[in-house]
Amino acid sequence: MSNQAIKNAPSPKSRGMDRFLNFIERAGNKIPDPALLFFWALVIVWVSSALLSNVSFDLLNPRTGAPLEVTNLLTGNALASFLANMTTTFTSFAPLGIVLVAMLGVGVADSSGFITTGLKKMLKFTPDKLITPVLILVAIVSHTAADAGYVLVIPLGGIIFHAAGRHPLAGIAAAFAGVSGGFSANFIPAGIDPLLAGFTQTAAHVLDPSYQVNPLSNIFFTGLSSILIVAIGWYVTEKVIEPRLASVEIDEDAEEAPEMGTFTDLESKAFRYAGWSMMVGIAALVFALLLETSAQRSPSGEITAFDAPIMKSIVPLIFILFIIPGVVYGRVAGTFKSSDDVIKAMGTTMSGMGAYIVMSFFCAQFLAAFGQSNIGTMLALYGAEGLKAMNLPGQATIVGMVLLVAMVNLLVGSASAKWALIGPILVPMLMAVGISPELSQAAYRVGDSVSNIISPMMVFFPLIVVYCQRYIKSAGIGTLASLMMPYSIAMLVGWTLFLLAYWALGIPLGIQAPYTYSM
């Protein structure tokens, strides 16, 4: 964090943690630029795949049913295919499109002044003590809109804290903790619910072909988990993160904080007109979704299903729902004199995304190679087999599962891909000792969430580093990892204990027939 390390908080109780986090920051910031990190990771995958391709494994790939094999990526055909598909691999990298399309709309709204005025009004009516929990709660709700929180809520977290006279990196960290660390904490159904339930049901059929898993089989647990994550994030932000950032100065040429003074009549009028335009757009969308014959619904008539057009249109909708009020505000307030100003605002926004685009190129190549090599599959399956071989008591098995998933998550980012790999092993294994598939899925979701925020391999991690660099130019991977480590540890411990207590009390995890298990 610049050349000046984060200084220790004065409390003697925190010295051990501070030394640990400072070590992580120093070590992490010695890691090369994220783009170079992914390049060298790609080279390591190539070499490892060549070495492991000659090894015979005694496990079956649950996706194919065939013996597990590591694919050699250094053969002539593999390298030729890599070169032939390099451009397509980059352009099809999902986070790239998500970020750039959403930022086009958000950039216009920001340049016009619409977002700044909105933040002024929000801070005026939100008590200072509640800014942190409100931000984290909004971050959690953003899960409903797929990955929108990464490009919308997290940068706004920095702006909100900066405007309130608090350290902007604390706002970014709090929002990141809610969006990514609390990924499975949400009281609103999202597309991930039916997706995971489908894999869980398939895995349960290994022992019971008639077993049915409701898509909302974890909704009560994830809903109550929202309260837990808000509480943990609130405490860590204000008691751990902000004291450590108190002596860290923001760069002189960093983005300025919006002044939270009074509003001019013109600003209020422009915001009112822009707000109306956004509300009209939202109302039109809701009306379209309410129609049973809506083209935005899935073929089965569901709104939150992954194959529903509305779920695939979240990012374009963010673009539309921000660019329209942005243009309206700009024209009324006079910040946009002509349509050329709107295009210039988009260009300015994109000019600040250069580093992320470069990183995305190398990240896309690495992730494609890592998936093709089957190395991640090998590590996940052997980890699951190791847990199975331990034959631990029920509670210890659940804890072990959470820890296993958290570690595998550092290598395999996709929630569905991990569950497709290890679910067929863990779900039947735990069913045999009386642990329901729904409980196994809940444990998986806890482990899948808590290590997101400390994994440089998570596709949005380098983007969060870019957000930090808006205020501290020399911030790096170590800076962000050291900020997020307290959240990760607190969530891992707190959420796991919460799950064990939930299980012990026999509270239903969601909408599902009562399950049975042995303690």
Per-residue model confidence (pLDDT) at position 21:
60
**12-26, 236-250, 430-444, 445-459: range with highest mean pLDDT:** 236-250
Question: Is the per-residue pLDDT at 15 higher than 70?
Answer: no
Per-residue model confidence (pLDDT) at position 516:
41
Per-residue model confidence (pLDDT) at position 233:
96
CB 478 within 8 A of CB 27: yes
Give the contacts of 420 (CB within 8 A, at least 6 positions apart): 62, 63, 199
Q: Which residue is listed with tokens 């604390």?
A: 170
> Identity (one letter) of the amino acid at 34?
P
Mean pLDDT within 196-220 = 80
Question: Is the per-residue pLDDT at 234 higher than 90?
Answer: yes
Per-residue model confidence (pLDDT) at position 355:
77
Per-residue model confidence (pLDDT) at position 63:
64
- Between 267 and 64, residue with greater pLDDT: 267
Per-residue model confidence (pLDDT) at position 123:
66
Per-residue model confidence (pLDDT) at position 488:
94
Per-residue model confidence (pLDDT) at position 259:
62
Per-residue model confidence (pLDDT) at position 125:
76
Number of Cβ atoms within 10 Å of the Cβ of 178: 32
CB 472 within 8 A of CB 431: no
Per-residue model confidence (pLDDT) at position 208:
76
- The per-residue pLDDT for range 54-108, each reduced to its tens digit, is 888 877 776 677 788 889 999 999 999 999 999 999 998 877 887 788 788 888 8
CB 258 within 8 A of CB 161: no
Mean pLDDT within 17-43 = 70
Integer Cα distance of 134 and 230 in angstroms: 8
- pLDDT classification of 515: cutoffs 50, 70, 90: very low
CB 234 within 8 A of CB 240: no
- The per-residue pLDDT for range 441-460, each reduced to its tens digit, is 999 999 989 988 988 767 78
Q: Which two tokens stand for residue 398?
A: 């659940």
318-321's contacts with Cβ under 8 Å and 24+ in sequence apart are 318/101, 318/102, 318/105, 318/106, 318/145, 318/148, 318/151, 318/152, 319/101, 319/102, 319/104, 319/105, 320/105, 320/281, 321/105, 321/278, 321/281, 321/282
Integer Cα distance of 395 and 387 in angstroms: 13
H/E element holding 135?
A: helix 131-141
Residue from 92, 95, 99, 34 nearest 355 by CA: 34
Question: Is the per-residue pLDDT at 128 higher than 90?
Answer: no
- The per-residue pLDDT for range 326-342, each reduced to its tens digit, is 999 999 989 999 889 99
Give φ, ψ of 60 to 5 degrees.
Answer: -100, 140
Mean pLDDT within 198-206 = 78
Mean pLDDT within 287-301 = 82
Integer Cα distance of 457 and 412 in angstroms: 8
- pLDDT classification of 513: cutoffs 50, 70, 90: very low
H/E element holding 284?
A: helix 265-290
Mean pLDDT of all residues belonging to the chain: 81
**138-152, 153-167, 297-311: range with highest mean pLDDT:** 153-167
- pLDDT classification of 171: cutoffs 50, 70, 90: very high
- pLDDT classification of 51: cutoffs 50, 70, 90: very high
- pLDDT classification of 511: cutoffs 50, 70, 90: confident
Per-residue model confidence (pLDDT) at position 229:
95
Q: Which residue is listed with tokens 């929990």?
A: 133
Per-residue model confidence (pLDDT) at position 24:
58
H/E element holding 276?
A: helix 265-290
Integer Cα distance of 356 and 363 in angstroms: 10
CB 369 within 8 A of CB 46: yes
CB 150 within 8 A of CB 179: yes
DSSP 310-342: HHH-HHHHHHHHHHHHHHHHHHHHTS--SHHHH
Q: Which residue is listed with tokens 């057009």?
A: 309
CB 140 within 8 A of CB 204: no
Question: Is the per-residue pLDDT at 238 higher than 90?
Answer: yes
- The per-residue pLDDT for range 356-404, each reduced to its tens digit, is 788 789 888 987 888 788 887 787 777 777 777 777 777 888 898 899 8
Per-residue model confidence (pLDDT) at position 92:
86
- The per-residue pLDDT for range 414-433, each reduced to its tens digit, is 676 678 767 777 787 777 66
Integer Cα distance of 491 and 236 in angstroms: 10
- Domains of the chain by residue range: 88-505
Per-residue model confidence (pLDDT) at position 8:
42
Which of 57-66, 180-189, 356-365, 497-506 is least confident? 57-66
Per-residue model confidence (pLDDT) at position 221:
92
